[in-house]
Structure 1
Amino acid sequence: MIADDLFTEFQKHGLRDRTTAKRYRELVLAPGGTKPAAELVADFLGRPLSIEAYRAKMEKDQ
C-alpha cells in the first residue's frame, strides 16, 4: 500500500524525473528509521498516506 501511494508521485512527474527522485531520497530514504513510515510518506507526498492508490491497483488487476 505504501509503495503504491509513493509511486503516484513518480507517475505524476515521470519515472525518470530527477527532482522527484531527489525528494524521495532526501525525504524517505535518508531519514530511514528515524521517523515512523507514515511521517516519511506524508513528508514526501505532502499529505497523509492513502489507501486509494492501492485500491485502484487492486481493481485494475481483477
Structure 2
Amino acid sequence: MPARLAIALLLITCSALAMAAPAHYWLWQGKDKTFCAQTSPGKGWTRIAGPYVRSDCSN
C-alpha cells in the first residue's frame, strides 16, 4: 500500500509541474530596428518593452 501511495503522489506532482503557461513576447531593440520575440535575438539587442501576449507585441 505505501508503494501505491508514493506512486500516486509522484504522478500528481509530475502532472502539476507539466501545466505551464505560454511564454511572453518582448520588444527588442538593435542598432537600427526593433524586433518582437520571446527570447533575445542575440548579442547587442536590448529588451525595451513587454511582456506581450501576442507575437506582434500588441496587447
Q: Which has the larger strand fraction? A: 2
Choose between structure 1 and 2 for higher RCO, CA contacts under 8 A separated by at least 6 residues: 1
The bucket for the TM-score relative to the shorter chain is under 0.3
TM-score in terms of structure 1 length? 0.24
Q: Which has the larger helix fraction? A: 1
The structure with the largest alpha-carbon Rg is: 2
